[in-house]
Structure 1
């Protein structure tokens, strides 16, 4: 049984969230209900996912005109296309006739054809064909285009925003650009991720673990991880409006990588400085993108929340240009992944058990080590958005009550 559900999301609850955004030495973890309660997740959709920039994939997944891929987040089916002008377009994948999904998976097409009744949409989402609708009164194809979203690209990643009035993303990532510049992620290469993972825990549990230096030499103690010691974690100060956060983690030797040799297996990104070759970088762009950056590869995870207790993850790896042409590339991948898989298995077990613990009547708001500052930085990103959304929703509700009262006065009089 989940003993955490019976709680009032009132002023007391939201005021108490401020304690999670205090400096790391003073901060408390978020209340367990933020990870487990379906009602809170519904609120979170409006507070975060309806208005923030959401990573959906990579530009090189749609290199050519007509290329498309599909995805979904918070239950919204989405299709991303490369149109005839080579622009990237993002739109709902829901046919505006009878709600059939117009595309699945990925491929290349001149138009998106709904398989149900063959309504056809251009790569811009315009309805261009609707068979046997001539006798339908007042029917105009212009009224039934696929809804579109804002699109922005950063470091080769595609982001969308459901909010047509949302401010641009790139200016709020200027603090991350310099630390990623020498990796040139826009031109990095890697295979398209396979089938997405579906994990049975809250998306924030995954986000926290992906950038948690505190557990590195505890949970992962051993030769596959000890060369990235928790004690060498550092957390640069970032401007308050930054749309992400990151930590550096020094390594005990240069060109370290997660494999049995502890050394880079793939070509090192060619522009790296000596300083960059002696550390790793862990970066998060909530609520959807997490990066593990080493000298020869970058693991990316695109998190797609679907319920309070589950989310999908598209996981891929990027390499320096030309790395995939090596005749031993696949063998090197096998060697690397055999080690990474062991580390990931430990993380996944912990994530699953944390979700179990968060539902306990005894789950509480814990305290942080300095090595967990990334968790406090996530809180500092979340809490203002939670509180702003609640104020916005409260104002909207008050306006609605005022209108109802006005109507009542008119009717009564």
Structure 2
């Protein structure tokens, strides 16, 4: 009997014009999830969120990447850094969620660490003659900022984010994404496999049906462009009309010209960062497996600098956030239905539309990672 890795390899061995969706085992196999955690999430860069959300010294956010607890923070010198979120004493996790702190205090025995990870104090340790405070810093984890996004990786040999995503910068450099400010951030858990939600973002084929109650009527399938993907990402574009003004370039924006003043990019940066970038606003999902049948979602968004100081911007964005929440309800319903269907014994992958080119490229990315680990 073939395993999910073999089935995926066979699925991507055909040209796009003959391609089908990925086999159900790729979404439902516990063994394949283990491979994803070891061969993908432990090796590639993972997006934590926006640097603007960690603006002040002591601002922090915690996460688990491939089962490893991590804290990302702005230290006392204003530098972004990532560290293990595990105490060096009895190995309790340290911080939770996100917030601001002057130091990192273990909730178990109050060992206290500075924001650079060095151990500041450890109560009642003076009688242990081998104890040396200088030997107990929290281990550093690679952390990089790119166009306003914060990434971490467990892989000491991973190429830099900037080098891996240089083609993204070529595509959208004139949008000035590094200056966009996050105005909301949330976390959710949905009952679907993480790849189902990733693929849902990557294709706009579903918009007229899944989003009939919100944005479906605004979606013109004939205007969607889905070019072949790149090694580290795929994308497609949609042209927006003036139904939602904040999606268009602000009158003061002189960087964008012609159709780019109304062009939306849907960027899927592997493995799990999904960005909708418009001239006026952005929103994103950062996805991580939460078991086979659930996905943990970091959901956030905000505005371009041109709109931040616009008198009507907050009103526009409040309406946008309401719309995004409604769209999320629709996406949750659709993606959870897909996962339930994938678990059926009768589930068989169908042929892909030309509008699902990004899904085909995503399958190739996944296959390249798990096959590389086999060699």
TM-score (structure 2 length as normaliser): 0.91
Q: Which residue of 2 aligns with 1:360?
A: 344
Decide whether aligned partners of structure 1 residues 266 and 238 sit closer, same or farther in structure 2, where only a CA change above 3 A counts: closer
Contact 1:56 1:159 in 2 (8 A): yes
Q: Which residue of 1 aligns with 2:362?
A: 378
The farther-off stretch of 345-354 and 123-132 is 123-132
Q: How does 1:136-285 map to 2 (within 5 A)?
A: 136-194=128-186, 196-221=187-212, 224-239=215-230, 242-251=231-240, 253=241, 256=242, 261-264=243-246, 268=250, 270=253, 271-285=255-269
Q: How many Å separate the matches in 2 of 1:262 and 1:103?
A: 39
Decide whether aligned partners of structure 1 residues 67 and 159 sit closer, same or farther in structure 2, where only a CA change above 3 A counts: same
Q: How many Å separate the matches in 1 of 2:14 and 2:3?
A: 21
The farther-off stretch of 151-160 and 99-108 is 99-108
> What's the CA shift string for 1:136-192, capped at 9, x where partnerless?
252233443222211111110000000112221211211111222122111111314
- Aligned residue for 1:348, secondary structure, equals helix
Decide whether aligned partners of structure 1 residues 21 and 286 sit closer, same or farther in structure 2, where only a CA change above 3 A counts: farther
Instruction: Return the index of the structure with the highest Cα Rg.
Output: 1
Q: How does 1:11-410 map to 2 (within 5 A)?
A: 13-14=5-6, 16-20=8-12, 22-194=14-186, 196-221=187-212, 224-239=215-230, 242-251=231-240, 253=241, 256=242, 261-264=243-246, 268=250, 270=253, 271-321=255-305, 323-391=307-375
Decide whether aligned partners of structure 1 residues 316 and 201 sit closer, same or farther in structure 2, where only a CA change above 3 A counts: same
Q: How many Å separate the matches in 2 of 1:288 and 1:16?
A: 19
Q: What is the alpha-carbon root mean square deviation over aligned residues? A: 2.3
Q: How many Å separate the matches in 2 of 1:78 and 1:16?
A: 31
> What's the CA shift string for 1:93-115, capped at 9, x where partnerless?
11121222211233333321112
- Aligned residue for 1:44, secondary structure, equals helix
Q: How many Å separate the matches in 1 of 2:53 and 2:13?
A: 37
Contact 2:180 2:281 in 1 (8 A): no
The farther-off stretch of 13-22 and 149-158 is 13-22
Q: Specify every segment of 5 or more residues in structure 1 that has no aligned partner in the other structure, as ranges.
A: 1-6, 392-413
Q: How many Å separate the matches in 1 of 2:249 and 2:106?
A: 44
> What's the CA shift string for 1:198-240, capped at 9, x where partnerless?
111111111000121211223334773333312222123455x
Q: How many Å separate the matches in 1 of 2:103 and 2:348?
A: 52
Q: Specify every segment of 5 or more residues in structure 2 that has no aligned partner in the other structure, as ranges.
A: none
